[in-house]
Structure 1
Amino acid sequence: MARKFDWIKEIDEKKETLKLVVRVKDLWFVQNWDMNRHMELILLDQKGDMIPTMVKKEDIGLWEEKLVEGHTYIMHNFKIMKNQGQFRKFNDFVFMVILVLYIIGVVDNVRCNPQSKNVVFHIRDLSSAVIGCTLWDSYYFKFMSNWRGEPDSFIIVVMLTQAKIKPSSGQWPVSISNSWNGSKLLMGDECSELVRFKEQWIQYTFLELLSS
């Protein structure tokens, strides 16, 4: 009799072997200061639960061409590590510990610093919540290529994943920035989420004008 599949939420210290059916929701590579790189993924099961995953540098050659974002896989014989680090609030158990942050919103109050190759701006969501964001180096150049020269009234929507959180300090509120090479910056019409958010934002601002 074939063994039934497990669910992500069932991962705990008691089960030594698991068999999961998951879709690769997100996939990216992180390169360290010593030029070594590893693969990080977000896996999603049929119930909608997600878990972060890592493929170590020693195993990238085996999996780099086999794991594709958006594809579904049966996974087993993997190592489970208990998350006892600073990001415990996100998951009790992970394949490897990483920080995951997904944020999308409209760009506002842009201040660019060409000499230091960074740009600082606000990201505003549909609830009118605002968070500061700083992008550096290659992320700075991508942002500027999409933003520069556009009229003030032009709506620019950004999505930043795997971002680094900077805690509040004194008068400075919580903010985010790209992690060195681990974040993913999407702008314009690069994905359906951006297009959908822009449509919702236009509808939201139109209703605001009608009610004012």
Structure 2
Amino acid sequence: MSLEENMIFELHTKKRTWKIAVRITDMWHVNKHNGRQVIEMLFMDQTGAKIGATLWQELFREFEAMLHCGSAYVIQDIKVVENHSEYKVSTIPFLVYLVKTIVKEAEHPEIPTNVHVITPFVDIINGVAPRDTLVDVVGVVAEVIERKTVNPTYRVIVKLRDNIDRDMILTAWEEYALQLDDAIEKNHFDRKSLVVMLTLAKIKDSKDKYPLSIQNIKHGSKLYVNTDIAEI
């Protein structure tokens, strides 16, 4: 008998057999401290709920060629584990491992291309947004504080302003800093508002001389500016 498809919010660690219909909305390679490689993914179902998924290096040959960011799949016999990551990709407290898993690409038009849940600055400032959960944020660049685009560390710091005039410091590192610096340069002569959206951003609490801020993670974040935001 065919298994009924489950929603992401139904997943937990006490059941061994699951079947989910999801779209891969993000996908990136990571080198672990022990030298092993993994592919990290973000699965999203038709409700817009998301959960992190991991494919270990030992299974690259079996699964890597069939997994594509933006495609939808029916995935069966996944392993659901507790999420003990320092930064979680969603509020779902679990992760998915692809192990002895059945993966089939499928047409699922009811699953959106992506859904971004924007975290208001006020929730970050007031501590409502969990510090261990990555967030999507959007705002207008109100001030450029620092642009350091010389090796070894690329860094661009700006003040973002939301639609109710609350400010938040955004620090972009490495390739994200170069992308933001390029957008600032191109926007300099346009004299238009520069709107920025950063996805999967980590919240960094105030420490010593450093203020509360949002920053990109090393892998997985995406930076969108102006026209890119309009497209999504």
TM-score by length of 1: 0.75
Cα distance in 1 between the residues matched to 2:55 and 2:84: 19
Q: Show structure 2 runs of 5+ residues with no match.
A: 98-131
Q: 1:141 to 1:61 in 2, by over 3 A?
A: farther
Cα distance in 2 between the residues matched to 1:17 and 1:140: 43
TM-score by length of 2: 0.70
In the TM superposition, what are the counterparts of 1:104-119 in structure 2 within 5 Å?
104-110=138-144, 111-115=146-150, 116-119=153-156
1:134-161 Cα offsets, whole Å, 9 max, x none, are 1122222211122115148322122222
AA aligned to 2:83 is: N
In the TM superposition, what are the counterparts of 1:151-166 in structure 2 within 5 Å?
151=189, 153-166=191-204
RMSD over equivalenced CA pairs, Å = 2.9
In the TM superposition, what are the counterparts of 1:61-80 in structure 2 within 5 Å?
61-80=61-80
Percent identity, please.
Answer: 28
- 1:105 Cα deviation from its structure 2 partner: 1.9
Q: 1:119 to 1:85 in 2, by over 3 A?
A: closer
| 2:230 pairs with 1:195 | yes
In the TM superposition, what are the counterparts of 1:1-212 in structure 2 within 5 Å?
1-31=1-31, 37-84=37-84, 86=86, 90-95=91-96, 99-110=133-144, 111-115=146-150, 116-148=153-185, 150-151=188-189, 153-169=191-207, 172-190=210-228, 194-195=229-230
Single out whichever of 29-38 and 130-139 deviates more from structure 2.
29-38
Q: Show structure 1 runs of 5+ residues with no match.
A: 198-212
The alignment of Structure 1 onto Structure 2 pairs a total of residues equal to 193
- 1:84 Cα deviation from its structure 2 partner: 4.3
AA aligned to 2:138 is: I
